[in-house]
């Protein structure tokens, strides 16, 4: 079984790392490079950076900070935010990112996923899905979630969209469960389990609050567990998390 990945998530807005609750009320939590270095030193397996307002604002990622991060860390990192073409993805990768992630741009134009997979290989292409539990219990996809005032329904159901994304060439799915984001009550394992049979690595996102939450996600079959506030606020230290997970039988990189 592949080694379980611990992945801090860094939401970027106006050149700073921020964190909200259920994708709203963002607060400043620090400098991009400072946090990247901290998580590298603590033993993170990967980092994910989301330029959270890029898609809603119709712009691409500012590659200046991607260069700055790439210059100082030696662990893989993924970048997302407004990547709408092969050329834009190439600029991000040439700036030092190891993978690119698309979310709203892929919903705008699904064939983008296939174009990116053809250009860079599907192992380089991550599709992020922002999923909300609707009033009727359905899992539905939201779009432009980086700006609450711009957020809309994407007109798709979560599992159907994930299935299409994999068919088009997504090499990995990050499932961001909006209802769990920042509340530290555990990952939405029902939603996550519905995506795992699609046959690509699945990253659980939204809800980590305890070591047991991480263990539960890996027990459900995810490849990686993404978290933000518990790491930013030092509620859980990555070395302690990995030591406890290993004691619980989860294979992690120490």
d(CA 55, CA 148): 12
Instruction: Supply the angle between the helices 63-70 and 86-94 in degrees, to the nearest 10.
Output: 30
Is residue 171 exposed (0-12), middle (13-18) or buried (19+ Cβ within 10 Å)?
buried
pLDDT band at 23 (very low <50, low <70, confident <90, very high): low
- Please say if the pLDDT value at position 98 is more than 70: yes
Q: Considering Cα of 23, then 27, then 29, then 32, what sign does the dihedral take?
A: positive
Catalytic residue, candidates 11, 51, 188, 216? 11
Average pLDDT over residues 236-248: 97
Q: Do 192 and 14 meet the contact criterion of CB atoms below 8 Å apart?
A: no
- Please say if the pLDDT value at position 147 is more than 90: no
Mean pLDDT value across the chain: 93
Give one DSSP letter per residue of 54-96, joined into a string. TTTTT----HHHHHHHHTT--S-EEEESS--SHHHHHHHHHTT
Return all residues near 212 (Cβ < 8 A) that are at least 6 apart: none
Q: Considering Cα of 201, then 202, then 203, then 208, what sign does the dihedral take?
A: negative
- Indicate left, alpha or beta for 73 from its phi (over 0: left) and psi (-120 to 50: alpha): beta
- Please say if the pLDDT value at position 97 is more than 90: yes
Average pLDDT over residues 40-58: 89
Q: Distance of alpha carbon 222 from its chain centroid, rounded?
A: 13
188 in active site: no
Is residue 18 exposed (0-12), middle (13-18) or buried (19+ Cβ within 10 Å)?
buried
Dihedrals φ, ψ of 18, to 5°? Answer: -130, 165
216 in active site: no
Q: What percent of the chain has pLDDT over 90?
A: 80
- Please say if the pLDDT value at position 210 is more than 80: yes
pLDDT band at 29 (very low <50, low <70, confident <90, very high): confident
- Please say if the pLDDT value at position 254 is more than 90: no
Q: Which two tokens stand for residue 81?
A: 């935010």
The pTM of the full predicted model, rounded to 2 decimals, is: 0.92
Taking alpha carbons only, the member of 7, 4, 2 closest to residue 175 is 7
Taking alpha carbons only, the member of 158, 12, 140 closest to residue 78 is 12
Q: How high is the pLDDT of residue 235?
A: 94
Helix (H) or strand (E) holding 51: strand 47-51
- Measured between alpha carbons, how far is residue 55 from residues 4, 71, 103, 113, 147 in Å? 30, 26, 9, 16, 9
Catalytic residue, candidates 45, 51, 130, 188? 130
């Amino acid at each position: 079984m592949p080694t379980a990945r611990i992945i801090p998530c860094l939401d970027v807005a106006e050149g700073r790392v921020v964190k909200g609750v259920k994708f709203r009320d963002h607060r400043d939590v620090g400098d991009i490079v400072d946090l990247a270095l901290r998580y590298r030193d603590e033993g993170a397996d990967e980092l994910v950076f989301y330029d959270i307002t890029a898609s809603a604002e119709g712009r691409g990622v500012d590659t200046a900070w991607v260069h700055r991060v790439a210059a100082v860390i030696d662990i893989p990192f993924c970048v997302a935010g407004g990547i709408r073409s092969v050329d834009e993805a190439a600029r991000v990768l040439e700036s030092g990112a190891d993978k690119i992630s698309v979310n709203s741009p892929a919903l705008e134009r699904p064939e983008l996923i296939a174009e990116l997979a053809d250009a860079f290989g599907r192992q380089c292409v991550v599709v992020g899905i922002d999923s909300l539990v609707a009033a009727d219990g359905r899992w539905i996809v939201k779009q432009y979630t980086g700006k609450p005032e711009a957020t809309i329904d994407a007109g798709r159901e979560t599992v159907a969209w994930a299935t299409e994304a994999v068919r088009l060439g997504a090499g990995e799915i990050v499932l961001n469960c909006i209802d769990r984001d920042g509340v530290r009550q555990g990952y939405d394992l029902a939603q996550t389990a519905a995506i795992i049979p699609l046959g690509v690595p699945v990253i659980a996102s939204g809800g980590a609050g305890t070591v047991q939450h991480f263990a539960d996600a890996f027990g459900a079959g995810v490849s990686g567990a993404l978290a933000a506030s518990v790491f930013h606020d030092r509620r859980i230290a990555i070395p302690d998390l990995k030591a406890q997970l290993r004691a619980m039988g989860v294979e992690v990189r120490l």
